[in-house]
């Protein structure tokens, strides 16, 4: 036992409670399997005993002494290991939060802080140098340090320090194997030992959040890449305008008042005059550097989702006038990358008495490594998040020369800094980071960029290209901000006024914030540091050599950002659709989600209300699991009209007869339709995109004029292979592609429907021919994957979720991966459904993002709220609470969420007391 702990009762490693004992047998079996695997040679010939595996299990009963506490803190865990903390001061509360999260999740916390600091090479060796170099160039850790030193409030710093003290109290006296089994594995090849936790480690995590939720950066790159293969009109076809007449925005009224200059939900909007202002001439032909940047982005760990693509979320709140409880109901389910352990950590933070020295009584979802609650409720209000999707990044082409860059006809010197990357088992590497007035040169991190632009055609507005252009990144998150202040302010907020005051400080990442309180008020606020551009609309890279471009000094003022408070309709829905209609005068982004999920939620709420019914907690839960496919409703009637002569294909086509467009796991119709959809996208669009956007390793023949490479015997076609990871390739099949296809349905002879001959397939000249070919291709694809007998087909057999340990589970030896990872599970739902179990149509059918948690908050009657996590409370791969919520998550079930003292006491199975 570590020197700084003493157990007065209970046993170190005890999980306690009936459920813990019930699951103990399975946990022991997993431990035995691990030991056998390691003895068999996985651990480089090392022997691990069962005690090694179990050494890091947390103590959950008895008592532990911790230096620095002012009084006792009780840690009460329920049968799923979810902790509720009770303390008498803020400092003790956050100190205990740090200790308990380190008990369950320190390996995850440690890897995460090394990622945000660009120090993965210290843990995992030279294979991470390129990733570290890119992250050092972005400078997340540097900005986080500036925030802590110069921007954050004194109270926030105290809370961060208390949290760090709690983490370090846990680490004190412990070897790596006593912290997590992964350290024992790492110790076989590396003498790495964890450093102490610092407050800046916590702050830096917000930069990782902001990066994965950065908005349209990938779309900006993709549009530029498309110029090598498609003309401007065709690119516009693939990025259609938002269908405001069909899908509602979040805020359905209001404008910036001409009297007060502030946003007024009751004001009448006038035309904004915002239009497209791209900078085409200066950016054509820069594909080499942008393709290389895109490749680099694919290598950066995506903690929240596949490089930002597809990341969405649902949240909605219904006023008490339409609920069975008479008080608001609030639902939230962020769609993020599936990972093990889950990104979220459920927790309650309770002051025994609310006072000036102890201000918190809140519970919800937290991030391991960061104090406070991110999404949840306190005793007065509840709140939820979805990604607003504001365009907060711009790429700038820079004309570099020697030690400087061109700006308004003069050469300005770079701002530079040296970064040393320590490498486990190797020599340290030193890089030089160069910055222009538009941000760091992200193109410096690729050797492919040394000769870029030598053949790139550019417009007359561009300077002589010489050795080519560099690419700089301008991003709001690279300026110090107050988002960490906002977390604590949200946790303490009492009403809509204090909620909005907290939202003003939530600068990055920009999120949609929904609200409800015990006085039956509901609301919404769009926060965030959103840039105002001098020229351009952020959809294409801008010229960095002219002061006519760039951003104004000040972002959009908070008081001009849209909000709603008790709208007449009685509910608010946010699901990544536009915040407000196109008459709003500020450009938030041009790359919104296309409103498929949000409109479906709107429709479900309206149908209940118009029918005279009241919405219950169970209704909210059912809405979260709605898996209706909007694109199926559009396409299936047309697919059924097509005359299919092949008996086997006709047999598959009949699956769609009478299908209700729901994507249940056991549905053969959903399996076949989604395969048809995937093949429609491939034939109509995917094969016409540049190689930089297509799936890595998938090859096709293209006209010689469009590419370079091995030429066929006739000298006309070139064999060209895709370059992008399957999870991020295009067309991904999301609701932007729904809108693309919907716009083309009335033009059956569009060039998009033309597809060349391939193998045994004939060329297609119109829509119905392409649909027939897609139905045929889908039939044989599923025959290969699922078998010839269509009665055995099911969507879940195609659409599977595998949870992977984020380090050894993805990079370790195969047998060890199988021991650490979990799954697969057969999953229902689908892309752009409310139950958004996302898959990338270009890459395959596997689940690549999910509702990472689900909650339904029963405002005012908090103990009737419900919640679920994707995995479990524990990050210890062989503990009972590693994935003990996953089966229920798959079924759409929710757990009881205790909040009040009596309810928590009743649900408690283990109590640990932390003592001074």
- For residue 713 the two structure tokens come to 């015997």
Mean residue pLDDT across the chain = 87
- For residue 576 the two structure tokens come to 């990544």
Helix (H, G, I), strand (E, B) or coil at 309: coil
- For residue 875 the two structure tokens come to 């990050």
- The answer, yes or no, to whether residue 3 has pLDDT greater than 90, is no
**Which residues sit opposite 702 in a β-bridge?**
718
Q: 311: pLDDT confidence band, cut at 50, 70 and 90? A: low
- The answer, yes or no, to whether residue 37 has pLDDT greater than 60, is no
Contact 412, 559 (CB under 8 A): no
pLDDT digits (tens, 9 = 90+) for 385-407: 999 999 998 988 888 888 899 99
Least confident of 38-42, 425-429, 767-771: 38-42
Highest mean pLDDT among 447-456, 610-619, 724-733: 610-619
* CA distance linking residue 71 with residue 88, whole number of Å: 7
Q: State the pairing for strand pair 344-351/361-367.
A: antiparallel
Q: Work out the percent of the chain whose per-residue pLDDT is above 90.
A: 70
Contact 394, 477 (CB under 8 A): no
Residue 719 has a pLDDT of 85
pLDDT digits (tens, 9 = 90+) for 716-756: 678 889 988 898 899 999 999 999 999 999 999 999 999 99
Q: 446: pLDDT confidence band, cut at 50, 70 and 90? A: low
- The answer, yes or no, to whether residue 419 has pLDDT greater than 60, is yes
Residue 188 has a pLDDT of 72
Contact 802, 824 (CB under 8 A): yes
CA–CA–CA angle 25, 31, 32 (5° rounding): 90
Residue 50 has a pLDDT of 63
More confident: 38 or 684 = 684
**Which residues sit opposite 132 in a β-bridge?**
none
- The answer, yes or no, to whether residue 141 has pLDDT greater than 70, is yes
- The answer, yes or no, to whether residue 52 has pLDDT greater than 80, is no
Contact 524, 319 (CB under 8 A): no
With CA atoms as reference, report the closest residue to 562 among 513, 507, 491: 513
pLDDT digits (tens, 9 = 90+) for 227-272: 888 999 999 999 999 999 999 999 999 999 989 999 999 998 766 5
pLDDT digits (tens, 9 = 90+) for 457-466: 344 344 544 4
* CA distance linking residue 490 with residue 256, whole number of Å: 25
Residue 899 has a pLDDT of 98
For 140-264, where are the alpha helices, taking DSSP H only?
A: 140-150, 154-171, 181-186, 199-212, 217-226, 232-238
Q: Work out the percent of the chain whose per-residue pLDDT is above 70.
A: 84
pLDDT digits (tens, 9 = 90+) for 845-885: 999 999 999 999 999 999 999 999 999 999 998 899 999 99
pLDDT digits (tens, 9 = 90+) for 809-848: 565 556 667 677 899 999 999 999 999 999 999 999 999 9
Residue 330 has a pLDDT of 98
């Amino acid at each position: 036992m570590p020197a700084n702990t003493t157990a007065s009762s209970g046993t170190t490693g005890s999980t306690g409670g009936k459920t813990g004992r019930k699951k103990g047998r399975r946990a022991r079996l997993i431990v035995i399997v691990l030991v056998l695997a390691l003895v068999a040679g996985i651990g480089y010939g090392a022997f691990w005993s069962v005690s090694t595996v179990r050494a890091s299990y947390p103590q959950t009963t008895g008592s532990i002494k911790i230096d620095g506490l002012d009084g006792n803190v009780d840690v009460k865990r329920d049968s799923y290991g979810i902790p509720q903390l009770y303390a008498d001061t803020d400092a003790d509360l956050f100190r205990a939060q740090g200790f308990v999260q380190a008990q369950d999740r320190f390996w995850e916390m440690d890897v995460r802080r090394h990622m945000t600091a660009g120090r993965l090479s210290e843990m995992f060796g030279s294979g991470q140098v390129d990733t570290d170099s890119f992250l050092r160039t972005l400078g997340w850790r540097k900005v986080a340090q500036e925030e802590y030193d110069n921007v954050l409030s004194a109270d926030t710093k105290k809370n961060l320090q208390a949290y760090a003290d709690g983490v370090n109290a846990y680490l004190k006296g412990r070897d790596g194997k006593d912290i997590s089994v992964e350290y024992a594995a790492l110790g076989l090849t590396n003498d790495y030992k964890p450093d102490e936790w610092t407050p800046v480690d916590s702050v830096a995590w917000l930069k990782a959040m902001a990066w994965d939720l950065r908005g349209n950066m990938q779309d900006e790159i993709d549009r530029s890449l498309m110029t090598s293969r498609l003309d401007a009109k065709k690119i516009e076809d693939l990025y259609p305008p938002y269908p405001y007449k069909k899908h509602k925005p979040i805020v359905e009224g209001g404008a910036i008042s001409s009297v007060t200059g502030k946003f007024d939900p009751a004001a009448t909007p006038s035309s904004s005059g915002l239009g497209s202002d791209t900078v085409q001439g200066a950016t054509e032909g820069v594909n080499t550097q942008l393709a290389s940047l895109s490749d680099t982005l694919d290598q950066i760990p995506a903690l929240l989702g596949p490089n930002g693509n597809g990341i969405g979320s649902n949240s909605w709140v219904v006023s008490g006038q339409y609920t069975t409880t008479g008080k608001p109901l609030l639902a939230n389910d962020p769609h993020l990358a599936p990972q093990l352990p889950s990104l979220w950590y459920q927790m309650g933070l309770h002051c025994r008495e609310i006072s000036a020295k102890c201000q918190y009584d809140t519970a919800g979802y937290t991030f391991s490594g960061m104090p406070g609650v991110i999404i949840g409720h306190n005793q007065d209000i509840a709140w939820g998040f979805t990604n607003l999707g504001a365009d907060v990044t711009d790429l700038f082409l820079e004309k570099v020369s020697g030690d400087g860059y061109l700006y308004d006809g003069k050469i300005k010197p770079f701002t530079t800094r040296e970064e040393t990357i320590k490498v486990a088992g190797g020599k340290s590497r030193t890089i030089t980071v160069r910055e222009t007035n538009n941000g760091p040169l992200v193109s410096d991190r690729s050797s492919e960029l040394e000769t870029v632009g030598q053949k790139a055609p550019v417009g007359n507005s561009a300077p002589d290209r010489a050795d080519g252009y560099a690419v700089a990144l301008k991003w709001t998150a690279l300026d110090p901000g107050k988002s960490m202040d906002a977390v604590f302010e949200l946790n303490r907020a009492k009403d809509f006024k204090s909620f909005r005051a907290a939202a003003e400080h939530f600068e990055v990442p920009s999120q949609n914030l929904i609200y409800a309180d015990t006085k039956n008020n509901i609301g919404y606020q769009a926060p965030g540091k959103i840039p105002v551009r001098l020229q351009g609309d952020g959809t294409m890279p801008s010229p960095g050599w002219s002061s006519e471009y760039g951003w104004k000094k000040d972002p959009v003022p908070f008081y001009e950002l849209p909000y709603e408070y008790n709208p007449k309709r009685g509910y608010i829905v946010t699901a990544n659709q536009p915040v407000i209609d196109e008459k709003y005068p500020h450009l938030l982004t041009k790359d919104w989600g296309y409103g498929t999920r949000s409109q479906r939620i709107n429709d479900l709420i309206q149908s209940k209300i118009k029918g005279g019914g009241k919405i219950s907690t169970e209704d909210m839960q059912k809405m979260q699991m709605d898996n209706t496919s909007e694109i199926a409703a559009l396409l299936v009637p047309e697919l059924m009209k097509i005359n299919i002569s092949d008996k086997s294909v006709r047999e598959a086509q009949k699956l769609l007869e009478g299908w209700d467009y729901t994507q249940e796991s056991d549905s053969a119709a959903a399996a076949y339709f989604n395969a048809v959809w995937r093949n429609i996208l491939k034939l109509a669009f995917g094969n016409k995109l540049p190689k930089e956007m297509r799936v890595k390793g998938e090859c096709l023949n293209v006209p010689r004029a469009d590419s370079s490479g091995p030429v066929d015997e006739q000298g006309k076609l070139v064999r060209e292979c895709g370059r992008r990871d399957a999870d991020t390739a295009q067309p991904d099949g999301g609701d932007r592609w729904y809108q693309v296809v919907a716009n083309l349905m009335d033009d059956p002879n569009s060039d998009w429907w033309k597809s060349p001959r391939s193998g045994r397939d004939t060329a297609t000249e119109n829509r119905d021919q392409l649909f027939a070919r897609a139905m045929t291709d889908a039939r044989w694809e599923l025959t290969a994957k699922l078998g010839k007998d269509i009665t055995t087909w099911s969507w879940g057999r195609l659409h599977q979720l595998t949870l992977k340990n984020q380090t050894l589970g993805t990079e370790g030896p195969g047998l060890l991966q199988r021991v650490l990872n979990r799954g697969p599970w057969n999953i229902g739902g689908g892309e752009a459904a409310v139950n958004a179990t996302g898959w990338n149509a270009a890459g395959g059918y596997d689940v690549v993002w999910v509702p990472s948690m689900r909650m339904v908050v029963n405002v005012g009657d908090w103990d009737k709220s419900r919640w679920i996590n994707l995995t479990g409370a524990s990050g210890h791969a062989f503990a009972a609470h590693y994935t003990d919520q996953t089966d229920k998550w798959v079924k759409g079930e929710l757990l009881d969420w205790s909040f009040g003292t009596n309810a928590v006491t009743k649900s408690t199975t283990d109590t640990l007391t932390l003592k001074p």
